[in-house]
Structure 1
Amino acid sequence: MPEAPDVETAWSWLLERKPGTRGATHDSLLIVVEAAHAEPCLRSLYPFPTHGTLHFLRSAPPWADLNYDDLPFIVCGGPPYRVYSSGYVGLLGKTETPAEAAALVVSHLPPG
């Protein structure tokens, strides 16, 4: 399954549930994607669904930089929706809605 070539296309494919897109058939992912897309800070990051989660990557593939996946992410399938720091190092919080989870991710993004 090829990855989207850029941030805008990745969001578009997820929102449109384009066949062949990673996670496109999972209803629990779509509501999290919609909530995350509503946040301008997250919309500027590359959305990467994997294993029931939605990660936010600093860039589109190919990923040469080791720090491309160092941001908080959302575990889909709630409520509650869990937000973890990169690598499941720490639980940042649990929320009742995808919008609250997206806001929690934004509040834990590094400056800039």
Structure 2
Amino acid sequence: MSTETVVEKTWRMLLERHPEARRGDPEVIEAASAEPRLRRLFPFPSHGSLSFHRNTDFPWSNDLPRIAGEAGAYLVYGADHAELLGMVATPQEAAALVVAHLPSDCGAAVEGPWQGSNAL
């Protein structure tokens, strides 16, 4: 019997639009889930954007890019919306832009609160 990790379960529930899952743009969620490096991170849709974290529980890592949809475009922001990394036309391009801006040391999300230096 295989057990899902928190990350796997969260992605599955988002993709299935499970009633207990957070709500987000289904096209952005699907595009992000198709990117193997993003699929290893914890997805967190909130306030019209899809954030990615290195951990599965508060406090969040808050040091990775995020995708926001706005007026027919997809905006990719750096950590904490500090910098606009780009504006693209499709969710697939947005997911690829996030991947291009992931830190080189960004591996699979760890279960639990963030213990790194950027914990908020």
With the shorter chain as reference, the TM-score category is: 0.7 to 0.9
> Aligned to 2:83, which of 76, 81, 90?
90
Choose 1 or 2 for highest CA Rg: 2
TM-score where L is the length of structure 1 = 0.84
The structure that is strand-richer by fraction is: 2
2:30 matches 1:34: yes
1:6-59, CA deviations, whole angstroms, 9 ceiling, x for partnerless residues?
100110000000002111xx5xx1000000000000000000000000000101
Q: How many residues align?
A: 101
| 3-state SS, counterpart of residue 76 of structure 1 | strand
TM-score where L is the length of structure 2 = 0.79
| 3-state SS, counterpart of residue 47 of structure 1 | strand
Give, as a single letter, the amino acid of the residue that structure 1 aligns with 2:63: D
Q: What is the distance in 1 between the residues matched to 2:92 and 2:17?
A: 19
Change in CA separation of 1:78 and 1:6 when aligned onto 2, cut-off 3 Å: farther
TM superposition shift of 1:78: 5.2
Gaps of 5+ in 2: 106-120
Change in CA separation of 1:75 and 1:110 when aligned onto 2, cut-off 3 Å: same
Among all aligned residue pairs of Structure 1 and Structure 2, give the percentage whose two residues are the same amino acid: 49
Equivalent positions of 1:1-112 (< 5 A) are 6-23=6-23, 26=24, 29-61=25-57, 63-64=58-59, 68-77=61-70, 79-112=72-105
Give, as a single letter, the amino acid of the residue that structure 2 aligns with 1:11: W
Which has the bigger relative contact order, CA under 8 A and spacing at least 6? 2
Q: What is the distance in 1 between the residues matched to 2:38 and 2:69?
A: 16
Structure 1 runs (4+) greater than 4 angstroms displaced:
none
